[in-house]
Structure 1
Amino acid sequence: MSKAAILCVDDEVLVLESLGIQLQKAFADTYAYEFAESAAEALEIIEEIQDNEIEIIVIVSDWLMPGIRGDEFLINIHQKFPKIIKILLTGQADEAAIERVTKEAQLHACLQKPWKSEELIETINSGIEQYD
């Protein structure tokens, strides 16, 4: 694969925009950045960019989204792509969902909304260290 990517999934456009700004500021052009407003859209993006030889190394996902919730989405991702680092970013996930995704999808971290930019970047960095 030629380039690594970070995928952010959240049904709130403002959250995605904020994540994009923070990632660009922290990592500049080191990674490609992809954004999806639903789990279904995220799955389409994953398939599409793999065809372009881009490897997703980190997914930052909201929990409460229309359609598939973040825990189910990350478990599905883990079954297909176990190496991807999975981070849940939520203000509403219940403990059972967090426990389930930790156990079944090797969740790297769960960050609460509103998040601190430094904490998000440190979490992504620690995940990438594990990935390599």
Structure 2
Amino acid sequence: MAAPAIPPRPIVLLVDDEAEFARALGLNLAAHFDVDYAASAAEAEMMLGTRSYDVIVCDHLMPGEEGLPFLTRVRRHFPQVQRILLTGYMNPELISRSTAVAGLAGCLMKPIHATELVDLIRLAMPR
């Protein structure tokens, strides 16, 4: 009897302009997921054309395009991709509105704990 197939690891795209933060977070996430990194929304958008992602984890305040407009556009063009916003600067009311507008699976305030993000990514994944 053949062994059951191991399901593929979810593929996460981490978008953050703070390289050290992203590198540290990416190392934690890599224990559970396949992780790619983009330093901007523009770079992430190019990567979306080359690979299918299950989840995008995106910082809000970045040079160029901010995370929320980017994730809102991702919702329109890639509705199957789950979206999580990271921020250190939004108030709770704005987070609530943002979650609805971009169809976010969640929003976490920085500083975050990697285990909290891992749990949120797992919850966001379709069953």
TM-score range normalised by the length of the shorter chain: 0.7 to 0.9
> What is the CA distance between 1:93 and its match in structure 2?
2.8
* Residue in structure 1 matching 2:19, options 13, 18, 22: 13
Percent of pairs with identical residues: 37
Q: Aligned equivalents of 1:97 and 1:79: distance in 2?
A: 20
* Residue in structure 1 matching 2:85, options 70, 85, 88: 88
Q: Aligned equivalents of 2:9 and 2:49: distance in 1?
A: 15
Q: How many residues align?
A: 120
**Per-residue displacement from partner, 1:5-59 (whole Å, max 9, x unpaired)?**
100000000111012111122x1xxx4311000000000111122xxxxx20101
> What 5-or-longer segments of structure 1 have no aligned partner?
50-54
Q: Aligned equivalents of 1:43 and 1:6: distance in 2?
A: 14
1:89-128 superposed matches below 5 A:
89-95=86-92, 97-128=94-125
Distance change (3 Å), C-alpha of 1:125 and 1:16: same
Structure 1 segments of 4+ aligned residues over 4 angstroms from their partners: 94-97
> What is the CA distance between 1:79 and its match in structure 2?
0.4
Q: Aligned equivalents of 2:114 and 2:105: distance in 1?
A: 17
Bigger CA radius of gyration = 2
Amino acid in the other structure paired with 1:24: A
More helix by share: 1
What's the TM-score, normalizing by structure 1?
Answer: 0.82
Would you say the 8 A contact 1:74–1:101 is kept in 2? no
The reply to whether residue 41 of structure 1 matches residue 47 of structure 2 is no
> What 5-or-longer segments of structure 2 have no aligned partner?
1-7
RMSD of equivalent CA atoms: 1.8
